[in-house]
């Protein structure tokens, strides 16, 4: 004889298991500032894995045994933000802390241990991640501001064989300055990938150029690309 109530019982069991793992009220966060509500992965009644916890503060990232652990983003009630590594609910490892100081945005980057900055890291003013088919380049900060200008040179003068110029930028408004082009009102860090085609210095063949830069330090910058 087949049991008549096996299927309903099985469905009920699955529903109970699903309910226990999907309801935020059954999954605790042990850090009081973010313990009001939780959505995410759970294990043995505690937040474990990826999740989002909200209270007076907000945290999005990795959890272990009910506490932030691993990489995540923590939003404080006063507007401060920490992006980086956590251990047992505290900032520990590499991280970036952004906060207001005298009404202006300030940032600490470095190594953290038990919620304290133990080693501050000052990022380079700029970083070139890719350069293809360039003889050389120069990057100069000329004064304060929020402008980045690109200049294109060849054989001691402006590069007039340049075609197909394309910018992929993170912010700013495109400006044309005669032979030069750039961006006003940029936000730092500023990322820009430049690509174009040009004759080589002997004007014997065409070549494709790629230049990718991140500028971390605010200011007015002039970047000169030589072919």
Mean pLDDT of all residues in 125-135 = 96
Q: Are residues 136 and 117 in contact, defined by beta-carbon separation less than 8 angstroms?
A: no
Are 31 and 89 in contact by the 8 Å Cβ rule? The answer is yes
Buried b (16+ CB within 10 A) or exposed e, 109-134: bebbeeeeeeeeeeeeebeeeeeeee
Q: How confident is the model at residue 198 (pLDDT cuts 50, 70, 90)?
A: very high
Q: pLDDT higher for 3 or 121?
A: 121
**pLDDT tens track for 147-157:** 999 999 999 99
Classified as helix, coil or strand, 119 is strand
- What digits encode the pLDDT tens for the residues 50-68? 999 999 999 999 999 999 9
On the question of pLDDT at 1 being above 50, the answer is: no
Residue 197 has pLDDT above 90, yes or no: yes
In sequence order, which residues have a C-beta less than 8 Å from that of residue 80 and are 6 or more positions away? 97, 98, 99, 100
% residues pLDDT > 90 (the chain):
81
18 pLDDT band (50/70/90 cuts)?
Answer: very low
- CA distance between the termini of the chain: 86
Residue 49's pLDDT is 98
pLDDT at 25: 60
Q: Rounded to whole angstroms, how far apart are CA atoms 150 and 152?
A: 7
pLDDT at 132 over 60: yes
Q: Tens digits of per-residue pLDDT, 66-79?
A: 999 999 999 999 99
- Give pTM, 2 decimals: 0.60
H or E segment at 8?
Answer: helix 6-22
Cβ-proximal residues to 150 (8 Å cutoff; 6+ apart), any chain = 167, 180, 181, 182, 194, 223, 224, 225
Asked if residue 14 has pLDDT above 60, the reply is: no
| H helix or E strand, kind and range, residue 22 | helix 6-22
Q: Greater confidence, 197 or 3?
A: 197
Task: Report how far residue 56's alpha carbon sits from residue 32's, in angstroms, rounded to the nearest whole number.
Answer: 9
Whole-number average pLDDT of the chain: 90
Domain residues of the chain, as ranges? 6-120, 126-226
CA distance linking residue 11 with residue 150, whole number of Å: 65
Instruction: Measure the CA–CA gap between 126 and 215, rounded to whole angstroms.
Output: 4
**Do 73 and 81 touch, CB atoms closer than 8 A?**
yes
């Amino acid at each position: 004889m087949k049991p008549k109530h096996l299927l309903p019982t099985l469905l009920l069991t699955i529903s109970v298991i699903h309910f226990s793992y999907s309801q935020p009220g059954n999954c605790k966060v042990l850090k009081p500032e973010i313990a009001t509500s939780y959505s995410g992965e759970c294990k043995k009644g505690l937040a474990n894995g990826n999740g989002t916890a909200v209270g007076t503060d907000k945290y999005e990232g990795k959890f272990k045994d009910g506490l932030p652990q691993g990489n995540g983003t923590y939003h404080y009630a006063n507007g401060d933000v920490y992006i980086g590594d956590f251990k047992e609910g505290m900032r520990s490892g590499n991280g970036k802390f952004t906060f207001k100081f005298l009404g202006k945005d300030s940032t600490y980057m470095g190594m953290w241990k038990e919620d304290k900055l133990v080693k501050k890291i000052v990022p380079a003013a700029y970083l070139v991640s890719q350069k293809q088919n360039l003889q050389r380049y120069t990057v100069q900060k000329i004064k304060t501001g929020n402008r980045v200008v690109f200049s294109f040179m060849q054989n001691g003068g402006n590069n007039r064989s340049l075609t197909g110029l394309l910018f992929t930028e993170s912010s700013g408004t495109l400006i044309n300055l005669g032979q030069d082009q750039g961006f006003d009102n940029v936000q730092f860090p500023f990322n820009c990938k430049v690509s174009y085609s040009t004759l080589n210095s002997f004007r014997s063949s065409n070549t494709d150029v790629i230049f990718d830069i991140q500028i971390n330090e605010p200011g007015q910058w002039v970047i000169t690309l030589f072919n």
